[in-house]
Structure formats: C-alpha cells, structure tokens
A and B are shown apart, each in its own frame.
Chain A
Amino acid sequence: MAAVKFEQAMARLEVIVGELEKNDLPLDESLKIFEEGIRLSKNCLKILEEAEHKVEVLVQDKNGKKRIHAYTPDGEADELSS
C-alpha cells in the first residue's frame, strides 16, 4: 500500500514540476500546486526515511503455524538445513 502511495506521490511530484516549469498557470494556481509539491516531496522523503530496514524469515513450524523472525545468515541456515 505504502509502495503504491509513494509511487503515486512521485508521479504527481514530477507532474507538478512539469506544470510549474511550463509557467502558464496563474499565480494562485501555481502557488497551490507549489504547496502541494513541497508537501509531496516532504512526504516522499519521510517515506524513504521511514522504511523498516530489516530482513526477516517467514517459517512454518511443525503444526503449520507461521512465525516471522529476524534473519541471521549463518544461524538460520544451520537451523533450517537440519
């Protein structure tokens, strides 16, 4: 969901810059989309900074119950290969 929102925000931001650079909007319209552009760019940067920054492993135990735990390259490999 967030990915889609970010994609849309980026696309909109590109459109806004294009619109502003065309320079054929009345000042109040420009101001409106300028504010939107600034808001979008801040949101985009926020989303980029907010990313979760983690690697997890989805496993199913013997009862078929799913668990998610952190990934540790060697430990996990050992545990699962056994």
Chain B
Amino acid sequence: MTGLLRTSIEEQFSDIWLEGELSNLRAPGSGHVYCTLKDKTSQIRAVLFRSSAVRLRFSLQEGLHVLVRGRLTVYEPRGEYQIVLDRVEPKGIGALQLAFEQLKERLATEGLFDQERKQAIPVFPRTVGVVTSLTGAAIRDILAVLRRRWPTLHILIAPVQVQGESAGRQIAEALTALNELDSVDVIIVGRGGGSLEDLWSFNEEIVVRAIAASHIPVVSAVGHEVDVTLADFVADFRAPTPSAAAETVVPVLAEIVERVRELQVRVGQVMLQHCATERQRLEASIRGVTDIRFRLQEASQRTDDMVDRLREMVQQLLTSGRERVHEVQRDLSGLNPILAIKQGLVTIPQFSKRLEGYMGVLLAQHRHRTHAMLAQLNTLSPLAVLGRGYSILHTVPSGQILRRAHDVEVGQELEARLASGRLSCLVTRVFDDSSV
C-alpha cells in the first residue's frame, strides 16, 4: 500500500512550491539536511540531499522563512510522506544577500574585520601587485592611474577571473602567490562594477580568508562606491573604485622628487645660513681678541711708564734718604759720647785739681772759724760760771735745775754741782723772797 501511495504521490506532486518556516533542522555527517517546514496551520517533513545542499550559498537556520521547490515522496520505512527539496530561497530577502549577512556575521565574530588587524599601506611602494581580470575596465583604470602618478613603478599583475564559479578560488590563489614572491609592497584586489551576482566572488569566504592571511597590505577595489563586499571589510584599506585604489597606493612621483629636491635645497640653505651666522660670530670674536691685544699692548706700555716712574721715585727717595742719613750721621757725629768722654778725660783731672785746691782753702777757713767759735763757746759755758763761784742746784734723781725755792719741799734731797765735784743736800726750810 505504501508503495502504491508513493507512486501515486510522486506522480501527482513531482514539482511543487511551498512556503514556510524551517524547524527541527538536522544536518548529520551524511551531508543531507533534514527539517520540518511549517506554517500556522500545518507542517511537512523535508529533506535536502547533499548534492543540493552544497549548492546553497547561505546556510539554513531554524526559523528561516523560505520558499522551496521539490517533489513529494513517501519514506517507506516510516510510512511518512515528505518533500525532497532541490531549491531553497529565503523569503523576502535574496539568497545572496542572506548568505552575505550570514558570512559577514560569522567572520566578524571571528575578528577578521577588526581594526587592529589592519596593516598600514606603505607610502612609497616599489612594486604593486594587482589581482584582477586582464580583460576588465578595472585593470586599464588601475594601470592608467599608476603610470600617471608613478611612471617608473613596478607593477605585477596576477590575472584572475573576477566572476563565475572558479573566480573566488583564483583570487585567493593569486593573493597567496603574490605573498610567496616577497617582493610586492602592496596589493590591489578588485574589479569593475556589476550586479551583486557579478561581484559575488568578493564575498566568498575563501577570498575573505586569503585577504586576511596576506602579510602584504591589501587594498580592495570592488565595483562602484555603493558596492560593499566582504573583501572590503577584511581589506587593510577599502578604495571605492579601482582608480581610487591606484591613487591610494602610490603618491605622485614628480611631487616626491620635487619634495626631496626641496628638502635638499633647504638643508643646504639652512646650513649656509647657519655657517654665515657662525662666521659672523667668529669674526666678532676675532675682533674682540684683536681689541684685547691692543688693550694689552696699551696696558703694558702704561705699565712700563709706571715702572719707570716708580723707579725714578724710588731713586729720588733713595737719594733723599741717603742725604738725610748723611745729615743724621753728621748730627749724630756731633753728639758722639766718645768725644765727650775723651774731653771729659782731659777736663775731669783739671776739675779735680781745682776742687782739691778749693777744698783746702775751705778747710783752712773752717778750721780757723771753728777755733774762734770754740773760744767764744768756752766763755759762755755754765761750767765757766761755776769756776767763778756759782753752783747749780738740781733735783735728785730727775736732775731738774732749780730756779724757784717753792719748787722743792722740806726734806727733799737735792744735788749741788760745783766747779769741781758735787754735794748732796737736804732741804730743811723753804723761804719766800718776801720773808727775807
């Protein structure tokens, strides 16, 4: 019965279109893809065999709204009917667009488009590699611009197909080949404008990965400004067009030569100016030195003068000093004690002789006067009076000479001195003058 049904179904539904959402996606090792296609009210099992699955540009995702074409069949072991798909198109968005978005997201997640991965485009490349078709407009534009800007540039073209089945692989291989040469400074990869389908090779993973792997900086130039491919995302620099890419990779040779010449001239001018300044400074220094020499000569002359004058002054001083010394010597010689002594030696004996004579006279005179005075004294002596009969009465033992009678008392012992010898007397009575 299942066999009958199968034949019947296969005959009736050999080419049908269905629209629905993908669910229960399964992709086992066989490469076939199994899923369920469903809408709001119904569902059907579907299978996409490997041969059809590899032709898909985008990947099937759960929930994806698709338009499919295929044939109905019955899977006899389970007795289930299913649709064998040969075409799957995303609904509402082109298959290519979807594939683009899917791959872009995947590669972005891998970090292939990260800004940190970008290499600097060399300012002065010697050799520029170009990966493009030899038949397109792109190569003509690129060559024209490169030659105009830098006529002596070395250009190495790696010709590839830029659309069609094998284009992606060719582009990737060309990039690898240029990297192996190790003489290329920068690579332009691209093509002229076209449909999304035409530009598709530049969205292929193999191309994106080859650009990412290039150790030579890559400038992408695909289609027109509005066309954006994955090659543009991964390239180190995205040029809007092939011509723009050529302008990006080389400066204008004439301008560079001009710049070098200008720098050369400036180096020379500045140095010359520098030298001139230094020379002026040196000349000024030399003038200064000469000045100093003059001043030195002048100073030395002045010094000579002064030395002369000093010498004269010293001479004068010496002369006057010597004169003064003579004078002093002369003065001193008048005061010489030796002369005085010598003179003294002569005059002193004379003096002494004169003194001796004088002294003799004086002595004689004095002797004479002394004798006279002694004679006179003799006449005045109380002892002489005693000789004339007087006696001196004085107290014993004080020896006081008595002049008045009532100076003594009765019974007092007195002594009387006579011209010759003494008498001891005793007072018996005292008489007053009036009582006589």
Binding site for B on A (CB under 8 A): 2-4, 6-7, 10, 13-14, 16-17, 20-21, 23, 27, 30-31, 34, 37-38, 41-42, 44-45, 48-49, 51-60, 66, 68, 71, 73, 76-77, 80-81
Q: Could you show 9 A-B contacts with beta carbons less than 8 Å apart?
A: A3-B125, A3-B126, A20-B266, A20-B270, A52-B126, A56-B155, A57-B157, A57-B158, A71-B155
How far is the CB of A3 from the nearest CB of chain B, in Å?
A: 4
Segment among B229-237, B253-261, B344-352, B385-393 that sits at the interface with chain A: B253-261
CB pair B178 A58 closer than 8 Å: yes
CB pair A17 B257 closer than 8 Å: no
- Beyond A27-B275, A58-B156, A81-B134, 15 extra complex contacts between A and B, CB < 8 Å: A6-B124, A7-B124, A10-B123, A13-B267, A31-B271, A34-B270, A34-B274, A41-B261, A48-B152, A49-B152, A51-B150, A58-B177, A58-B181, A60-B177, A71-B155
How far is the CB of B204 from the nearest CB of chain A, in Å?
A: 19
CB pair A41 B264 closer than 8 Å: yes
**B278 an interface residue at 8 Å Cβ cutoff?**
yes
- Which residues of B in the span 166-182 have a Cβ within 8 Å of any Cβ on A? 173-174, 177-178, 181
A23 and B264 CA atoms in complex are apart in Å by 17
Give the number of chain B interface residues (Cβ < 8 Å).
Answer: 45
CB pair A3 B260 closer than 8 Å: no
Q: For A77, what are the chain B residues with a Cβ–Cβ distance below 8 Å?
A: 134-135
A31 and B268 CA atoms in complex are apart in Å by 10
CB pair B264 A81 closer than 8 Å: no
Q: For B5, what are the chain A residues with a Cβ–Cβ distance below 8 Å?
A: none
Q: For A34, what are the chain B residues with a Cβ–Cβ distance below 8 Å?
A: 267-268, 270-271, 274
Residue-wise, chain B 256-286 has the 8 Å CB interface mask toward A (1 for contact) of: 1101110110111011011101100000000
CB pair A81 B153 closer than 8 Å: no
How far is the CB of B269 from the nearest CB of chain A, in Å?
A: 9
Specify which of B174, B259, B270 is in contact with A23 (CB 8 Å cutoff). Answer: B270
CB pair B156 A41 closer than 8 Å: no
How far is the CB of A65 from the nearest CB of chain B, in Å?
A: 11
Closest 4 A-B residue pairs measured CB to CB? Answer: A51-B152, A41-B264, A37-B267, A52-B154
Q: For B240, what are the chain A residues with a Cβ–Cβ distance below 8 Å?
A: none
- Highest count of chain A CB atoms <10 Å: which of B129, B134, B143: B134
CB pair B155 A2 closer than 8 Å: no
A15 and B338 CA atoms in complex are apart in Å by 103
Residue-wise, chain B 122-142 has the 8 Å CB interface mask toward A (1 for contact) of: 111111010000110000100
CB pair B267 A17 closer than 8 Å: yes
CB pair B270 A13 closer than 8 Å: no
Q: For A60, what are the chain B residues with a Cβ–Cβ distance below 8 Å?
A: 173, 177
Q: For B152, what are the chain A residues with a Cβ–Cβ distance below 8 Å?
A: 48-49, 51-53
Q: For B266, what are the chain A residues with a Cβ–Cβ distance below 8 Å?
A: 17, 20-21
A44 and B158 CA atoms in complex are apart in Å by 29
Q: For B158, what are the chain A residues with a Cβ–Cβ distance below 8 Å?
A: 57-58
Q: For A21, what are the chain B residues with a Cβ–Cβ distance below 8 Å?
A: 266, 270
Asked whether A51 and B126 contact (CB < 8 A) given A23-B274, A80-B159, the answer is: yes
